[in-house]
Amino acid sequence: MRIKQKGKCLRRIATGLSLAIMVFGASSGCGGGSMQPQRKQTVLDTDFDDAKVGARESQNMAASMGIIEDPELNEYLNAIGKRMIPFAPRRPFKYTFQIVDQASPNAFALPGGHIYVSRGLMTLVNTEDELACVIGHEITHAAERHAAARQEFNRRINPFSMGYLRAGQLAAYGRDQERDADRGGQILAAKAGWNPSGMATFMQDLGAMDRLSIGWSRLPGFFDSHPSSPERAATASTRGQNLAWVPRPHIAGTHLDFLDKLAGLTVGEDPKEGIFEKTRFLHLDMDFSLRFPDNWRLINDRDVVGAIAPGQKAFIALRIEGPGDDPQAMAKKVIETELFQARAKIHSEMPVQVGQYPGYRLDAQVSAARTSVSMTFIAYKGYIFRIDTVSRTGQLNQYLGRGRAVARSFRPLTTQEKSLFELVELEIVEARGNESLAQLSARTNNKIDLGTTAVLNDLFIDSRLTSGQPIKIGKGRPYRPEEAPEVPEALNESLEKTSPTANP
């Protein structure tokens, strides 16, 4: 949940109601999430269609996940990708290569040559060869137009798709296409002068990472539908040994040069987005917390903070509605704008008290989305927070109790909760001769657990290290909130421009 970024105004957090089309509308399209009539599906018949859909979804991707703004690292990533493009099938795409702000190791391609890797993947790769093979894999998906071969993606889209999940559906391929991309990625890397065996070592590390019980929330990744199986890793290993290739100098001159490019990347969840402590969401910048139901799937990304019920029958979502201290006035504004545009029927509304804070609750039915919603507005520190409980029409009563319990749990952070916020960044340190990984971790105050540290460095937990061996660790420091949010007028303007229910 992004509250503020680089001095800009508060970001809008997606509303539960505006997500209803995506959540419960089985026929919603890739660009869903609007109460307006759905856009006609774009069929990927041509390269032009690929470029059109990719350009649209890349904008959604930037808004939903965030792009890492590191000019040097981005230049490096683009240099790797561009070295392989001449060996790929010719397409009139303008390939782009970017790093998305996602903690889990991930890579994907949108139609039209938009290639992404996550910062979690960047912290996982151990060599330039591995990174080149991953990028080659995604170039293959784009160049072979694998999305166009799956014209049913629009109807098969997960009805719970939100933001990055929509793009994830575009980047979800069949098993044969994944195998083709594995092969293509290794061939592209080999032709461009990288060791094609990097694909196998990366898959082994990815599989090891997935098997770990890591200490941060793992967002759904686009590798999830086709995880790195032992079969794929073995096939990649055999292929890598048999592909002919002529080594070319790496773009990063040495292994240490490569690792130094990764230093400073955030490891795990970014505390400025808020964190989950079990089922309680904590946000230090805005000094609030609330608890979601047990056994619900927790979501925290730039678009939405919330929880999805088992069986995907309901969800509860949090947003900041805007500046103000009158929850009833804000509820009236929502009725006159968002609910009016959605042709919602208001069933009830009343003032409520949430702890020591004034609130207002309204229940409504949105026939067009076949959903019911209960909204609770809470005035807190000059802003109106809104908590939506949404389910299919006729089922809301089953979830009202949980939704209202979430609203009642809203409160400021405790002193102990404030102490939980820590920013962990990747750092490269030198090992001492015959030092164990555990000894190095203790000596350097490594904040990453031992199992994950081993995987990040392609080592075994009991490995003995050599003198001067570069090792990736996590350097922790207390997270400090950014300065106070800026003028409300900027927020109001941003909300109007980005509202999914605004008139086109």
CA-to-CA distance for 269 and 47, rounded, in angstroms?
A: 36
Write out the two tokens for 115. Answer: 């290639």
pLDDT of residue 278: 92
Share of the chain above pLDDT 70, in %: 72
CA-to-CA distance for 492 and 92, rounded, in angstroms?
A: 40
Give the domain ranges of the chain: 41-262, 274-417, 422-478
The predicted model gives 238-249 an average pLDDT of 93
Q: Is the pLDDT of residue 221 over 80?
A: no
Nearest Cα neighbor of 100 from 120, 80, 125 is 120
Nearest Cα neighbor of 348 from 406, 301, 404, 294 is 404
* Residue pLDDT, tens place only, 334-392: 999 989 988 999 999 999 999 999 999 999 998 877 889 999 999 999 999 999 999 98
DSSP notation for 221-260: -TTTTS---HHHHHHHHHHHHHS-------SSSSHHHHHH
The number of beta carbons lying within 10 Å of the beta carbon of residue 236 is: 27
Q: Is the pLDDT of residue 435 over 60?
A: yes
Cα–Cα–Cα angle for 428, 431, 436, nearest 5°? 120
pLDDT, the chain, mean: 79
**Longest CA–CA separation in the chain, Å:** 73
The predicted model gives 290-306 an average pLDDT of 85
Write out the two tokens for 51. Answer: 């470029």
pLDDT of residue 1: 57
CA-to-CA distance for 140 and 136, rounded, in angstroms?
A: 6
The torsion of the CA quartet 199, 204, 209, 212, rounded to 10 degrees, works out to 170
Q: Which of 45-54, 89-98, 413-422 has the lowest mean pLDDT?
A: 45-54
* Residue pLDDT, tens place only, 189-214: 999 999 999 999 998 888 777 666 44
* Residue pLDDT, tens place only, 115-148: 999 999 999 999 999 999 999 999 998 887 645 5
Nearest Cα neighbor of 108 from 205, 177, 208 is 177
Top-level CATH class of 274-417? Answer: alpha beta
pLDDT of residue 175: 64
Write out the two tokens for 237. Answer: 């290993």
Write out the two tokens for 445. Answer: 């105050």
Q: Where are the beta strands (DSSP E) in 111-214?
A: 114-118
Split at pLDDT 50, 70, 90, the class of 2 is low
CA-to-CA distance for 128 and 62, rounded, in angstroms?
A: 25
Q: Is 57 helix (H, G, I), strand (E, B) or coil?
A: helix
Split at pLDDT 50, 70, 90, the class of 30 is very low
pLDDT of residue 45: 52
- Mention every residue, 6+ apart, whose C-beta is less than 8 A from residue 433: 465, 466, 467
Q: Are 160 and 22 in contact (CB under 8 A)?
A: yes
pLDDT of residue 98: 93
Split at pLDDT 50, 70, 90, the class of 420 is very high
Q: Is the pLDDT of residue 250 over 90?
A: yes
CA-to-CA distance for 143 and 113, rounded, in angstroms?
A: 7
